[in-house]
């Protein structure tokens, strides 16, 4: 049965009293990317219904965290609403930077059971696993894969692959199969052009290589800490499986990526795939609508698949996406809450999906027609069912800086071993948590 939001007849209108109040000019802050443009279009309906005017502050992803975290930390009043990254939730909650939404949700019949559980945990809860909510799930996202479906279907390519690997060329079920496919395409001539195996995340400056490496390590057995003893990381972050996973990620980078891939993230992956350089591409799901409609790789040219299984059959994927929060420093909190109330409505969420926004509302994604609504819809569901996320601790930025340095130094620069990288990461993270008083 589809979960539904329970709206009273009174709550179908924009919040009581606001429609008769003086109109407000609200500013929503988010990253500068295609979904943000879709939200601008969607928000025109809110403006017409509420009388409030929406302004937007969109910042490129490479600058998004530093710019917006500085805004939160300084108590700035630029943003009334913020669609902040999932990892920020702990710091924003503990530092009083987001408005706690429990009472608002209760008063307006908004149930967190109505959203994909992983997005509630990832985007809204702090502490994790408790019913304390600081955002409404706004944009479900996850790392998955696109592949050149048209290349896979060519008889001559199928024949060559089977001759080399003894099986049909198909979507990889395991990471071992993914490696075979990447090696097969690396340096191959297709239509007179040299192509390469895979585009993966290697970017050093923000979060790229961490998102890519973690996306792979999960399937090899990496765990952030001991499930029975929080922040006990020895033997979990640097387990034998985690070491094998990091070795795999480096091997994939070394053997099968295009030239100049030492600092690649979302945009570079999009460019590599659209330009026909690679057979496989790791990227967040938000890129998929753009591929589907692209003049070069749209339609049946591109296929989509969720992360394959690791050596023991485990399947996990790196959670992306964000929740929408009311900024505590805003002087327009009441009006900002009317936007969240409007955005939570099932009919608005359905339009959000159609415009290219990845709704996290179960009434949308569990609708019988959802899977047929886009060629990547099933892959989105499959991927969201296996997500894990990076630390959402208040010290998230320090934890991320450590993983960025350790992973890039090993995978891209070739310094040391995978074990040394992960042992070093345990030491780095332990030092941070000691400073945070976690032990």
Condensed to tens digits (0 to 9), the pLDDT of residues 51-69 reads 999 999 999 998 999 999 9
Q: Which of 163, 166, 146, 99 is nearest to 303 (CA)?
A: 146
**Alpha helices of 321-395 — where are they, by DSSP H?**
333-343, 346-355, 362-365, 377-384
Q: Kindly tell me if the per-residue pLDDT of 436 is higher than 60.
A: yes
Give the residue-averaged pLDDT of 206-225: 97
Give the residue-averaged pLDDT of 23-44: 97
**pLDDT score, position 22:** 78
Q: CA 242 to CA 259: how far, in whole Å?
A: 27
Residue 294 structure tokens: 């692209």
Which of the 8 DSSP states describes residue 242? H
The answer to whether 81 touches 324, Cβ cutoff 8 Å, is: yes
Give the residue-averaged pLDDT of 129-134: 97
The neighbour count for residue 189, using CB atoms within 10 Å, is 8
**pLDDT score, position 62:** 85
Cα angle, residue 246 at apex, residues 176 and 122 outer, rounded to 5°: 100
- Cα dihedral 263→269→275→281 (10° resolution): 120
**pLDDT score, position 439:** 97
Q: Is 84 exposed, middle or buried (0-12, 13-18, 19+ CB in 10 A)?
A: buried
The percentage of residues in the chain with a pLDDT greater than 90, rounded to a whole number, is 94
Residue 26 structure tokens: 């609200």
14 pLDDT tier (thresholds 50, 70, 90): very low
Q: CA 113 to CA 166: how far, in whole Å?
A: 47
Side-chain half-sphere CA neighbours of 374 within 13 A: 25
The percentage of residues in the chain with a pLDDT greater than 70, rounded to a whole number, is 95
433 pLDDT tier (thresholds 50, 70, 90): very high
Condensed to tens digits (0 to 9), the pLDDT of residues 299-338 reads 999 999 999 999 999 999 999 999 999 999 999 999 999 9
Q: Which of 28, 15, 46 is nearest to 351 (CA)?
A: 46
- Alpha-carbon Rg for the chain in angstroms: 22
Condensed to tens digits (0 to 9), the pLDDT of residues 274-305 reads 999 999 999 999 999 999 999 999 999 999 99
Q: CA 233 to CA 100: how far, in whole Å?
A: 30
How far apart, in Å, are the Cα atoms of 136 and each of 131, 187, 396, 424?
Answer: 13, 46, 20, 36
Residue 144 structure tokens: 């998955």
Alpha carbon of residue 399 to chain centroid: 18
Q: Kindly tell me if the per-residue pLDDT of 7 is higher than 50.
A: no
- Number of residues that make up the chain: 439
21 pLDDT tier (thresholds 50, 70, 90): low
Condensed to tens digits (0 to 9), the pLDDT of residues 142-157 reads 999 999 999 999 999 9
Q: Which of 61, 40, 6, 24 is nearest to 322 (CA)?
A: 61
φ, ψ dihedrals at 257, nearest 5°: -105, 160
Domain ranges of the chain: 10-141+320-388, 143-318
Which of the 8 DSSP states describes residue 13? S
CATH fold of 143-318 reads D-Maltodextrin-Binding Protein; domain 2 (3.40.190)
Do 10-141+320-388 and 143-318 share a fold?
yes
- Cα dihedral 349→351→356→361 (10° resolution): 20
Give the residue-averaged pLDDT of 114-132: 97
Condensed to tens digits (0 to 9), the pLDDT of residues 351-393 reads 999 999 999 999 999 999 999 999 999 999 999 999 999 999 9
The neighbour count for residue 1, using CB atoms within 10 Å, is 5
What is the model's pTM? 0.93
The CATH number of domain 10-141+320-388 is 3.40.190.10: yes
- DSSP-assigned states of every residue in 374-418: STTHHHHHHHHTTEE----STTHHHHHHHHHHHHHHHHTT--S-H
């Amino acid at each position: 049965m589809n979960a539904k939001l329970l709206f009273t007849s009174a709550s179908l209108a924009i919040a009581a009293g606001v429609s008769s109040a003086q109109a407000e000019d609200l500013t929503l802050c988010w990253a500068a990317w295609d979904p943000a443009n879709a939200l601008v279009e969607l928000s025109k309906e809110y403006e017409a219904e509420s009388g409030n005017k929406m302004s937007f502050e969109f910042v490129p992803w490479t600058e998004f965290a530093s710019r917006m975290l500085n805004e939160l930390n300084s108590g700035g009043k630029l943003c009334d609403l913020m669609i902040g990254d999932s990892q920020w939730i702990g710091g924003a909650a503990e530092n009083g930077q987001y408005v706690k939404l429990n009472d608002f949700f209760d008063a307006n019949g908004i149930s967190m059971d109505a959203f994909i559980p992983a997005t509630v945990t990832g985007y809204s809860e702090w502490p994790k696993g408790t019913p304390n909510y600081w955002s409404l799930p706004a944009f479900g996202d996850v790392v998955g894969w696109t592949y050149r479906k048209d290349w896979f279907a060519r008889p001559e390519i199928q024949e060559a692959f089977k001759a080399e690997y003894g099986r049909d060329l198909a979507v990889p079920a395991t990471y071992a199969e993914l490696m075979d496919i990447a090696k097969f395409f690396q340096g191959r001539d297709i239509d007179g052009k040299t192509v390469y195996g895979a585009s993966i995340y290697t970017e050093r400056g923000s979060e790229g290589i961490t998102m890519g490496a973690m996306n792979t390590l999960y399937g090899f057995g990496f765990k952030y800490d001991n499930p029975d003893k929080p922040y006990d990381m020895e033997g979990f972050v640097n387990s034998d499986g985690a070491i094998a996973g990091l070795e795999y990620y480096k091997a994939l980078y070394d053997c099968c990526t295009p030239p100049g891939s030492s600092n690649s993230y979302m945009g570079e992956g999009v460019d590599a795939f659209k330009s026909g350089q690679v057979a496989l591409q790791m990227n967040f799901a938000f890129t998929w609508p753009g591929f589907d409609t692209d003049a070069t790789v749209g339609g049946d040219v591109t296929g989509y698949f969720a992360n394959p299984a690791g050596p023991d059959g485990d399947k996990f994927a790196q959670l992306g996406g964000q929740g929408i929060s009311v900024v505590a420093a805003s002087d327009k909190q009441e009006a900002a809450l009317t936007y969240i109330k409007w955005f939570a409505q099932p009919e608005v969420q359905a339009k959000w999906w159609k415009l290219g926004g990845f709704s996290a509302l179960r009434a949308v994604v569990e609708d019988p027609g959802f899977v047929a609504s886009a060629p990547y819809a099933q892959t989105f569901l499959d991927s969201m069912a296996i997500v894990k996320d990076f630390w959402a601790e208040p010290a998230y930025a320090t934890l991320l800086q450590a993983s960025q340095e350790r992973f890039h130094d090993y995978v891209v620069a070739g310094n040391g071993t995978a074990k040394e990288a992960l042992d070093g990461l345990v030491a780095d993270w332990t030092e941070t948590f000691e400073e945070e008083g976690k032990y």
